[in-house]
């Protein structure tokens, strides 16, 4: 059977789909070219088989049987672009294993005060989820600015994390929410670990998407006196490259005047997404005043040292924008925590 899968750049990709759950064909099969990419005037097949497993166990078994020659795919918005850069003589990938058909990975749910978001949940599903808006507003706001609508309709939160770029918008909010990630490792161990442990460097993940599966995320739902917010600065022209994103989670005391606890993630600042621990320390336990926020936001310029990026912005500009972002996002999160009203802003604007 052939599946025509519309992609974000507007043309259709024809792929051969094995409708056998996770099973790998025993006997050699005729190679059915998957996505074809023009390379120096000829068409190059990018993969041979396409699997649609129904469970995490099936996905792992499918990857294992290809022994490192297959790769996981979710929305394909990062992977297919990477795969377009084929070099002469490269062989097509033996198979793609699509996790968007694994039902447990496509769900959003609340259990025991924790919000669970499957790794294969799309950005659009997150943006449209009243649960996520209420309990993790910053995640709606960060997913709502990713790419354009066509990208958000297929791109997944798990793909954003697995791709391991420190500029990932959903990633930035997950770090501020103190999220854990669930990973099904190829050795049979399935465990929850802090999402920050997935990142090893720009584009380098602890996961090997030829054999491990990122299953989903969980974090505490915002309670009374708690809230979150996200904003980003980007180049509005052409491809909207994020220049700097800032996600903040706050917990106020009963008087709602003191910042009992706080988490801030500003990305990309380091090689991996991290919490701004020094900035958090200057705010934790403090009485909230306009002066305090202005002072801390200004000091953060010296505490954080964002990298210069040829395509995104100079380090100097990014430092300046750290102050701007904190002066906007901190008051917004505090206002939400005080009022108990959390309506996502800026969603879908680009
Ligand atoms: C035009 C355009 C604009 C974009 N704009 C933005 C933006 O504004 N902000 C932003 O953050 N990103 C942006 N992106 C990048 C991309 O859309 C996101 O990173 C997206 O979340 C990737 O998800 P995906 O499902 O498409 O991942 P895929 O491309 O399917 O996969 C990405 C990588 O993760 C692996 N992988 C996927 N799922 C899993 C899993 N469950 N377990 C293990 N490994 C897995 C794959 O093997 C691959 O290596 C943009 C991309 C495009 C094309």
Whether the CB-CB separation of 101 and 300 falls below 8 Å is answered with no
Residues 297 and 260 in one domain: yes
| DSSP structure string for 249-268 | EEEE-TTSSBEEEEEEEEES
Query: From atom 39 of ligand 1, which residue's Cα is the shortest distance away?
Result: 159
pLDDT at 235: 73
Quick: pLDDT tens for 244-279. Answer: 999 999 999 999 999 999 999 999 988 999 999 999
Asked whether residue 350 is assigned to any structural domain, the reply reads no
Q: What is the dihedral of CA 63, 271, 312, 347, to 10 degrees?
A: 70
Residue 69 gets which letter from DSSP? S
| End-of-domain residue from the set 186, 204, 220 | 220
Q: Is the pLDDT of residue 4 over 50?
A: no
- Which secondary-structure segment (H or E) carries 201? strand 199-201
pLDDT at 36: 61
Residue with tokens 């800032």: 246
Residues 153 and 176 in one domain: yes
pLDDT at 18: 46
β 12-16/213-220 pair status:
unpaired
Residues 197 and 109 in one domain: yes
Mean pLDDT of the chain: 87
Residues 249 and 318 in one domain: yes
Asked whether residue 258 is assigned to any structural domain, the reply reads yes
pLDDT at 239: 61
Q: At 64, list the tokens.
A: 């294992």
Q: What is the mean pLDDT of residues 105-115?
A: 98
Quick: pLDDT tens for 318-347. Answer: 889 999 999 999 999 999 999 999 999 988
Asked whether residue 349 is assigned to any structural domain, the reply reads no
CATH for 180: 3.30.465.10
pLDDT band for position 87 (cuts 50, 70, 90): low
Cα of 181 vs centre of ligand 1, distance in Å, is: 16
Q: Which residues contact 225 (CB under 8 A, 6 or more apart)?
A: 251, 252, 253, 254, 256, 260, 337
Asked whether residue 346 is assigned to any structural domain, the reply reads no
Q: What is the mean pLDDT of residues 309-324?
A: 87
Q: Is the pLDDT of residue 9 over 80?
A: no
Least-confidence region, from 5-14, 101-110, 272-281 = 5-14
Q: How far apart are CA 36 and CA 15, in angstroms?
A: 9
Cα of 253 vs centre of ligand 1, distance in Å, is: 38
Q: Which atom of ligand 1 sits closest to the CA of residue 145?
A: 8
pLDDT at 223: 96
pLDDT at 133: 97
Q: Give the phi and the psi of residue 169 in degrees, each rounded to 5.
A: -70, -50
Q: Which atom of ligand 1 sits closest to the CA of residue 170?
A: 11
Q: Is the pLDDT of residue 17 over 80?
A: no
CATH for 301: 3.30.390.50
Quick: pLDDT tens for 199-221. Answer: 999 999 999 999 999 999 999 99
| For ligand 1, mutation pick of 73, 245, 312 (most atoms within 8 Å of CB) | 73
pLDDT at 7: 34
Residues 234 and 335 in one domain: yes
Asked whether residue 21 is assigned to any structural domain, the reply reads yes
pLDDT at 39: 59
pLDDT at 240: 64
Q: What is the mean pLDDT of residues 231-239?
A: 75
Residues 108 and 210 in one domain: yes
Least-confidence region, from 4-13, 171-180, 294-303 = 4-13
Q: How far apart are CA 36 and CA 39, in angstroms?
A: 9
Quick: pLDDT tens for 32-70. Answer: 446 566 656 666 778 999 999 999 999 999 999 999 999
Asked whether residue 166 is assigned to any structural domain, the reply reads yes
Query: From atom 28 of ligand 1, which residue's Cα is the shortest distance away?
Result: 76
Query: From atom 11 of ligand 1, which residue's Cα is the shortest distance away?
Result: 168
Asked whether residue 289 is assigned to any structural domain, the reply reads yes
Residues 108 and 94 in one domain: no
Residues 87 and 54 in one domain: yes
Nearest partner of 110 among 226, 250, 230, 223, judged by Cα: 223
Q: How far apart are CA 63 and CA 98, in angstroms?
A: 11
Cα of 154 vs centre of ligand 1, distance in Å, is: 9
Query: 108 is in which domain, residue-wise?
Result: 103-220
| End-of-domain residue from the set 73, 101, 129 | 101
| For ligand 1, mutation pick of 138, 144, 146, 244 (most atoms within 8 Å of CB) | 146
Segment of 120-124, 147-151, 238-242 carrying the highest mean pLDDT = 120-124
| End-of-domain residue from the set 74, 101, 128 | 101
Nearest partner of 101 among 136, 134, 58, 137, judged by Cα: 58
Quick: pLDDT tens for 275-297. Answer: 999 999 999 999 999 999 999 99
Query: From atom 27 of ligand 1, which residue's Cα is the shortest distance away?
Result: 159
Domain count, the chain: 3
pLDDT at 346: 85
pLDDT at 331: 98
Residues 80 and 185 in one domain: no
Whether the CB-CB separation of 139 and 219 falls below 8 Å is answered with no
Cα of 239 vs centre of ligand 1, distance in Å, is: 15
This prediction's pTM: 0.90
Does a cis peptide bond (omega within 30 degrees of 0) precede residue 268? yes
pLDDT at 84: 78
Cα of 243 vs centre of ligand 1, distance in Å, is: 17
Q: Which atom of ligand 1 sits closest to the CA of residue 72?
A: 47
């Amino acid at each position: 059977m052939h599946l025509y899968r519309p992609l974000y750049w507007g043309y259709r990709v024809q792929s051969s789909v094995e409708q056998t759950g996770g099973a790998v064909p025993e006997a050699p099969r005729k190679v059915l070219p998957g996505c074809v990419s023009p390379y120096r005037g000829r068409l190059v097949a990018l993969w041979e088989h396409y699997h649609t497993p129904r469970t995490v166990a099936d996905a792992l078994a499918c990857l294992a049987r290809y022994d490192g020659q297959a790769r996981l795919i979710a929305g394909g918005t990062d992977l297919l672009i990477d795969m377009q850069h084929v070099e002469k003589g490269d062989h097509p990938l033996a198979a793609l294993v699509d996790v968007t058909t694994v039902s447990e990975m496509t769900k959003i749910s609340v259990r025991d005060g924790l919000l669970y978001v499957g790794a294969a949940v799309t950005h659009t599903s997150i943006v449209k989820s009243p649960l996520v808006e209420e309990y993790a507003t910053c995640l709606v706001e960060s997913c709502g600015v990713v790419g354009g609508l066509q990208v958000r309709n297929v791109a997944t939160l798990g793909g954003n994390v697995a791709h391991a770029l420190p500029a990932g918008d959903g990633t930035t909010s997950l770090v501020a929410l103190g999220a854990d990630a669930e990973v099904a490792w190829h050795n049979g161990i399935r465990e929850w670990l802090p999402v920050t442990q997935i990142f090893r460097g720009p584009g380098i993940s602890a996961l090997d998407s030829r054999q491990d599966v990122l299953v989903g995320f969980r974090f505490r739902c915002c309670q009374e006196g708690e809230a979150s917010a996200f904003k980003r600065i980007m180049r509005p022209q052409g491809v909207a490259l994020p220049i700097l994103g800032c996600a903040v989670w706050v917990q106020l005391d009963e008087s709602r005047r003191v910042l009992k606890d706080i988490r801030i993630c500003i990305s990309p600042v380091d090689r991996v997404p991290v919490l701004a621990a020094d900035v958090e320390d200057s705010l934790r336990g403090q009485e909230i005043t306009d002066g305090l926020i202005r002072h801390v936001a200004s000091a953060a310029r010296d505490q954080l040292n964002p990298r210069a990026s040829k395509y995104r912005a100079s380090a100097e500009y990014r430092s300046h924008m750290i102050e701007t972002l904190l002066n906007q996002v901190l008051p917004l999160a505090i206002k939400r925590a005080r009022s108990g009203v959390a309506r996502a802003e800026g969603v879908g604007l680009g």
